[in-house]
Amino acid sequence: MDAIARYEMAGVPLGEMRLADITSDILGRWRDQRLTVDKVKGSSVNRDLNLLSHVFSSATKEWKWIAKSPTTDVRRPADPPPRDRLYSDDEIERICFALGFDQAETNLASTGYQRVAVAFLFAIETAMRAGEICGLVASDILGRTATLRQTKNGTKRGVALSSLAAELLRLLPRVPEDEPLFGMTAGSLDALFRKAKKRAMIEDGTFHDTRHLAITRLARKLNVLDLARMVGHRDLRQLQIYYNESAETIASRLA
């Protein structure tokens, strides 16, 4: 919200304007600048508009500061098509090799690059986001359950761990119970992952694409309600964004 408030329109930050002076025309020009000048995606603009809509709705209905929300008449940009990038087994192996990690070895992941490899494989097993993985501390792990204290939607969530996921955690150096298991921030993880991906000669793909692969794999093992609980989706329709099984694979299961 601070970033939106600092955004200047005609030399004036939005946060310094009176609510009554912010019109749909101003927000429309803000939208266009974000899309054409800042080159952000339509989905990012829509998320910001949703946040602004909540603020103006409160100002209208609860506080009675303005008569109508200016976001009502602002045209929303189209969301880009959902990503359907799935890492192949060969790409997974190449990325791990570029990170100096061999799944066949049982040595501790002592370097930052090796811990990124463990996080990469752990994400494929659990569908956890980079921030959720980097936020894990030793006390969050109990048996084959990981408790995520802070998630994207702001709620606590328990994640069941496969035997492989639990084994991957045992490859991490031991840390005090209140310190991050992976010993890095999501930003550091992403930076190291990008370098390894380049060395592996993989041009596209992001760390977050592990979530697509994980959910697609988990959908073969779990019913839809268990899957939604594990990955933190309250709306079952959201799973369709991440479930990317090919038509050929689905056809192979049909009689």
Q: Is 54 a catalytic residue?
A: no
Q: Is 212 a catalytic residue?
A: no
Determine whether 68 is exposed, middle or buried from the number of CB atoms within 10 Å of its CB (0-12, 13-18, 19+). Answer: exposed
Q: Is 211 a catalytic residue?
A: yes
What distance in Å separates the CA atoms of residue 115 and residue 154, rounded to the nearest whole number? 26
What distance in Å separates the CA atoms of residue 222 and residue 230, rounded to the nearest whole number? 10
The neighbour count for residue 200, using CB atoms within 10 Å, is 19
Q: Given 208, 217, 229, 243, which residue is catalytic?
A: 208
Distance of CA 7 to the CA centre of its chain: 25
Q: Given 6, 149, 152, 156, which residue is catalytic?
A: 152
Q: Given 34, 129, 157, 212, which residue is catalytic?
A: 129
The neighbour count for residue 235, using CB atoms within 10 Å, is 8
Q: Given 31, 115, 197, 211, which residue is catalytic?
A: 211
Which residues sit opposite 8 in a β-bridge?
13
Q: Given 34, 94, 212, 233, which residue is catalytic?
A: 233
Q: Is 233 a catalytic residue?
A: yes
> Both ends of the chain: CA-CA distance in Å?
52
> Catalytic residue numbers?
129, 152, 208, 211, 233, 242
